[in-house]
Structure 1
């Protein structure tokens, strides 16, 4: 019988971890990591943060998680990015490092990381504020089916923040975010429809006024 490949070893480790068989999980993750499988290194590191594992060691955990990211495990990179956005038991807040890890995960096409990186650029947190870059990152995130990316893309288009105001395009992105189960994107979609209809109503379009009233009742906008 052939030896399991690195991915299979990783999957066996995940299965053992879910069953709370941490000793066996460690063996599988170690083997996968030694074969340069990033997920194995990261997951082994994560084990060292688990008090139930019995070998809690933040220094070792951070080294293994970092190795996982260096081996292109995107989820490991975004996890590290999140770690460095706050002070914690493992690291001190360092937005420069957070930016680097988010960037790598985004380059590896992890949509949520593109969205988180876009948020840093939109607000100038740890980086020079760059709305065009933020917009491009949100667009990439949305294209990678990250609902939050679609939401933020729609918000920028709806308000005209750093881009040409385009409510029709904003509605498309809000709708896509809503389809990806992002509740705020659903709200953005409904609110934009109501906003457009309200303007038409104010211009004397009575039919639109009727539809608007029905829309407000349907969407419970006031709640």
Structure 2
């Protein structure tokens, strides 16, 4: 027989941890406050928890630091989590050869994915 109080305690702890998981939105908010290190830590935790915006934030930060190879890993994860701007950024990097070998075919694939997810800028790249 299960102890109902123990079950209630477990569910309460689980609900608390889920509701207080770090998100990419929190990382962006900390960044806007100028708390860059805190923003990065929050984004890392968010990305580990499959928060696409957290992954994108890390990719963008690394690209700004001239680390495109590392940034592409985060863009790819964000894209895989259906974050259109992650797909767009990856497409741009494949088009330009930033952190990857230049590959127009792969670039088009990522532009198409971003377009399918509603990113109109990616759609315009496909029309060129």
TM over 0.5: yes
Aligned partner of 1:29 among 43, 54, 76: 43
Aligned twin of 2:87: 77
1:63 Cα shift? 1.0
Whose radius of gyration is greater, 1 or 2?
1
8 Å CA contact 2:24–2:55 kept in 1: the answer is no
Structure-2-length-normalised TM-score? 0.75
Aligned: 1:65 with 2:75:
yes
Hey, which bits of structure 1, 4+ residues long, moved more than 6 A?
Answer: none
Aligned residues: 112
Q: Report the 3-state secondary structure (helix = DSSP H, G, I; strand = E; otherwise coil) of the residue aligned with 1:109.
A: coil
1:66 Cα shift? 0.9
8 Å CA contact 2:44–2:58 kept in 1: the answer is yes
**What do residues 51-79 of structure 1 show as CA deviations (whole Å, max 9, x unaligned)?**
3xxxx643322211111111111011011
Q: Report the 3-state secondary structure (helix = DSSP H, G, I; strand = E; otherwise coil) of the residue aligned with 1:59.
A: helix
Distance across 1 between alignment mates of 2:63 and 2:125 = 24
Aligned: 1:4 with 2:20:
yes
Aligned: 1:95 with 2:104:
yes
What 5-or-longer segments of structure 2 have no aligned partner? 1-14
Distance across 1 between alignment mates of 2:97 and 2:48 = 30
Aligned: 1:86 with 2:99:
no
**What do residues 163-215 of structure 1 show as CA deviations (whole Å, max 9, x unaligned)?**
xxxxxxxxxxxxxxxxxxxxxxxxxxxxxxxxxxxxxxxxxxxxxxxxxxxxx
Aligned partner of 1:118 among 113, 121, 127: 127
Distance across 2 between alignment mates of 1:19 and 1:11 = 13
Aligned twin of 1:185: none
Aligned partner of 1:49 among 63, 87, 99: 63
Aligned partner of 1:106 among 104, 115, 125: 115
Distance across 2 between alignment mates of 1:28 and 1:94 = 33
Aligned partner of 1:20 among 11, 15, 34: 34
